[in-house]
Amino acid sequence: MKETMSQQFSSASPSCCPPESHSDAPIAEAPACDELEENREMEKDGALTAEVVSSCVSNLGCFSTGLQHFYNHLSLPSRDLRDISVLANYVHLQKLELPRNKIKDLSCVSHMPYLVILDASHNEISSFFGFQPPKNLKEVNLSHNRLTKMEDLSAYSCLSNLDLGYNRLSEITGLEKCCKLTHLSVAYNKISRISGLECLPLTHICLRGNQLERIEGLENLNSLQVLDLSLNRITSLSGLGNLHLLGSINLEKNLISEIQECKHIHDLFLLRELNLLGNPVQDQPDYRLAVVFLLQHLTVLDQEKVKVEEKVSSVNKYDPPLDVVAARDHMTLLVYQLMQPQSLYDSTMPSADSPYPMLVLTGPQGCGKRELAHRLCQELSEYFSHGTSHTTRGPYFQEEDGMDYHFVSEEDFQNMIHMGKFIQTTQYGGHSYGLRRDAIEDVAREGLACCVHMELEGVFCLKNSCFEPRYILLIPTEVEKYTAHLKSRGLYTQAQIDMAVSRIELYANTNRQRLGFFDNVIPCDDWEEAYETLRQVVKEYLLLEEQEEGENNNRGSPDNASTGQEAEEKLPPPPLSRSGSGALASHSATALDPSDPSYRNYFTQIQAELSPQKSPSELASIGRREQLVREAIVAKSPGVYSQLLKSSAQAAPSSLQNPDTHLNVSSSSSDESRASSALTVPSSAGGLNDVVEPLDMSVLGHNLETFTGQTAEAPCPGTDLLDVVVSPSSDRRPGSNVKPILPPIPTGRKTPASPSPAASPRPSPQPAVPGGGDVDREG
Ligand SMILES: Nc1ncnc2c1ncn2[C@@H]1O[C@H](COP(=O)(O)OP(=O)(O)OP(=O)(O)O)[C@@H](O)[C@H]1O
């Protein structure tokens, strides 16, 4: 970095520090004189003679914009020269180099009106610009001299590069009129305050090795690109915030101790290089990542290239994207869950063919999604029930515990996390929110789909789980109306309102940038309208609309009957049932009514009816499972299925027929294993789906029929376990443009009001505990 910085100075300005860099000057050095020995004689007293000058002066050419210009160039470095008065006769000199001599007086330069470049570094000059100003003088190097005071340089209006490094200057003055000065070095002086630089067109400044404690007086240097403030006593980066063209700052060996200081240069979008080596801030934990995060445009920090990995890590650490937060949360929740004794959540068990149906309403706080969710559950109560989240915030007026939320303390919430209860948690507005697995399971056990509402972070988290809900975004499009609505609720501070409003953009962006992330987007400026649309959308999910339309067609115009049927044939089969009249509601009611004579063999019928319509992937999936079961039966594959069948053989089919059966992992006693199958199914095992194929009870039912010789007409008693409707698989995934439908609602989980004793010889080992009681402990 040191090199980089100095290169920047030297290449752009041969007269800026370091002075040795003059060898890079655009004009070639004069060739060494052949008569060096002879000349030495003449220089013994330090006086330059005409002979020496004439042997050393040269005409050199260089090309500039296609035209050849000739310079008179005299270079006499390291000759111990003291007296150069003879040069007064060389009025045409354009470049004069006299470094490393003993010159004290430069008055001869007054006679060189064409002089453009003067290098008198490493001499004994104490008088500041002690000569009449050559009109075109552009570059002056007076570094390593004995200058103590800067004087007015307004007559040097062409000056562009000035190097005054290694002198004894304590103040920068006299430059006000140097309106072409772009490069200035006052390195290694005694300057304790930056001043006198206002409004200069400076692009490069070197103030290395002074006594500066503050960065000041640079505010108006709008052209500044490279700034070297190394080796000072600077403690803060304030004073740099306006320098929008700054690309490189060297602050090596100063006294900067706080990472937060970088905020002062946070908005310098062209800043690429920063050097903070040798500052106390280096000792701060995660110093580098923090700086890389705060200054995301940096390419070099502390002379080291900033790696892409560092940029990613820093963002993930300090402002992780929603996916990253969600992934971390999911990981935590899953680990805690796996650390608990496992249980089988059979109602919501992941299944490739028909995921448990869930509906998630999302949108910014107070957009009405909670009320919409409740109303939907009320109106479509035969399909949906509300999955109540837990929260650590206190209840608002009239909020009911267990209804709006389960209100819990932070401590309880954390305990639940540690006990692996949640499938999703989110921090919002300083409170924790979380959806427990058993909140969903409770709904599922009722034979209903679960409807929940949550913020976007929750959606990201849920997307990592094994659930595959339909996500509906409710978004305000009239910001003023939304703001007014939030204000009218009287619940929120202005900051909370501002945050909620600002998050509209977050939702909109997510929807724009992630195709298919939400299954539907509904504007919610008008609550009633939003509800109507939502209802419509949900009915479409349930394929109710088509059903109703089909019915109307059939009913309303008998002439159209065939057309209606044809239309129905084109539709995918309804999610719940296709037997009987065709109306989903009545099917569902029939299906769930245990007193109905068709209840017992309902699923067998459904299967029989649907089997010709199975998709190739369904058939393939069933085939695979049948194969596994077959292999297990002939003891070919000792996998999970063999365990299952072993226990089913031992424990009689009833163990499979009880939906609430909990299956132990490693039950050693045969009694125990008789009482419970030995199958491990992680309760949120999205990540394990590839390893352990999820258990599909419907298929098992099918296979059991095959292998036990039970027929569809004579199902096992209490076949509520097998009440899984094989339905058209919902193959819609985020990004898919297939019309979304909800997977079948698991009607069969609803326990008959007075179960027949034959239905379930064993009591359920662990009934659901309302309000979030434990369901997954065993052993
Ligand atoms: N489990 C959850 N995960 C993520 N976000 C959640 C969860 N449960 C609730 N939320 C959301 O957290 C936000 C704050 O909820 P809260 O109930 O405290 O505020 P509110 O003012 O009543 O908002 P709303 O009327 O939208 O529910 C809401 O957007 C809510 O939908």
User: What distances in angstroms separate CA 248 from CA 276, 301, 307, 444, one per listed residue?
Assistant: 12, 10, 18, 61
Average pLDDT over residues 131-157: 95
Residue 213 confidence (pLDDT) above 70: yes
114: Cβ below 6 Å to ligand 1?
A: no
183: Cβ below 6 Å to ligand 1?
A: no
Residue 661 confidence (pLDDT) above 70: no
User: Residue 470: what are its φ and ψ, rounded to 5°?
Assistant: -90, 135
Residues 692, 339 contacting (CB under 8 angstroms): no
* Least confidently predicted of 37-41, 74-78, 442-446, 768-772: 768-772
Residue 231 confidence (pLDDT) above 70: yes
Dihedral in degrees, nearest 10, Cα atoms 699, 703, 704, 707: 180
Percent of the chain with pLDDT over 70: 62
User: How far is CA 741 from its chain centroid?
Assistant: 31
Average pLDDT over residues 258-273: 96
Question: pLDDT higher for 710 or 555?
Answer: 555
Residue 582 confidence (pLDDT) above 80: no
> From start to end of 421-534, where are the E strands?
422-428, 431-436, 449-454, 470-475, 520-523
Distance 359 CA to ligand 1 centre (A): 15
* Least confidently predicted of 51-65, 171-185, 525-539, 743-757: 743-757
Question: pLDDT higher for 483 or 738?
Answer: 483
CA–CA dist 151, 157 (Å, integer): 14
CA–CA dist 234, 255 (Å, integer): 5
pLDDT tens figures, 697-727: 333 233 323 333 333 333 333 322 222 222 2
User: What distances in angstroms separate CA 73 from CA 28, 50, 52, 723, one per listed residue?
Assistant: 9, 15, 13, 101
> In ligand 1, which atom is closest to the CA atom of 367?
26
User: What distances in angstroms separate CA 489 from CA 368, 493, 496, 651, one per listed residue?
Assistant: 11, 11, 12, 57
> In ligand 1, which atom is closest to the CA atom of 491?
21
> In ligand 1, which atom is closest to the CA atom of 434?
1
> In ligand 1, which atom is closest to the CA atom of 435?
1
Distance 387 CA to ligand 1 centre (A): 13
458: Cβ below 6 Å to ligand 1?
A: yes
Average pLDDT over residues 569-594: 31
Q: Which of 245, 248, 256 is nearest to 212 (CA)?
A: 256
Residue 65 confidence (pLDDT) above 60: no
517: Cβ below 6 Å to ligand 1?
A: no
Average pLDDT over residues 581-600: 33
Average pLDDT over residues 727-748: 45
767 Rama sector, left if φ>0, alpha if ψ -120 to 50, beta otherwise: beta
CA–CA dist 731, 566 (Å, integer): 23
Residue 316 confidence (pLDDT) above 90: yes
Question: pLDDT higher for 574 or 681?
Answer: 574
Average pLDDT over the chain reads 74
pLDDT of 647: 34
- What the block records as the tokens of 509 is 């962006």
Whole-complex ipTM? 0.97
DSSP 21: G
pLDDT of 550: 62
Give the 3-state secondary structure of residue 419. Answer: coil
18: Cβ below 6 Å to ligand 1?
A: no
Average pLDDT over residues 60-78: 64
Distance 511 CA to ligand 1 centre (A): 19
- What the block records as the tokens of 366 is 């107070």
pLDDT band at 477 (very low <50, low <70, confident <90, very high): very high
DSSP string covering 257-273: --GGGGGGGTT-TT--E
pLDDT of 614: 58
pLDDT of 344: 78
> In ligand 1, which atom is closest to the CA atom of 389?
1
Q: Whose CA is nearest to atom 8 of ligand 1?
A: 454
Q: Which of 257, 265, 311 is nearest to 282 (CA)?
A: 257
658 Rama sector, left if φ>0, alpha if ψ -120 to 50, beta otherwise: beta
pLDDT tens figures, 376-434: 999 999 999 999 999 999 999 889 999 999 999 999 999 999 999 999 999 999 999 99
> From start to end of 269-318, where are the E strands?
273-275, 300-301, 304-305
pLDDT tens figures, 608-619: 444 445 566 666
pLDDT tens figures, 4-50: 444 444 433 333 343 333 333 333 344 444 545 545 555 557 899 98
Distance 369 CA to ligand 1 centre (A): 9
453: Cβ below 6 Å to ligand 1?
A: yes
pLDDT of 62: 46
Residues 156, 131 contacting (CB under 8 angstroms): no
DSSP 361: E
- What the block records as the tokens of 38 is 């002879």
Q: Which CATH superfamily is domain 322-545 in?
A: P-loop containing nucleotide triphosphate hydrolases (3.40.50.300)
**Which pTM was predicted?**
0.63
Can you say whether the dihedral through the CA atoms of 623, 629, 634, 639 is positive or negative?
positive
Q: Which of 144, 145, 23 is nearest to 75 (CA)?
A: 23
pLDDT of 51: 87
Strand partners for 67: 64
662: Cβ below 6 Å to ligand 1?
A: no
For the packed helices 322-338 and 410-418, what is the interaxial angle rounded to 10 degrees?
Answer: 70
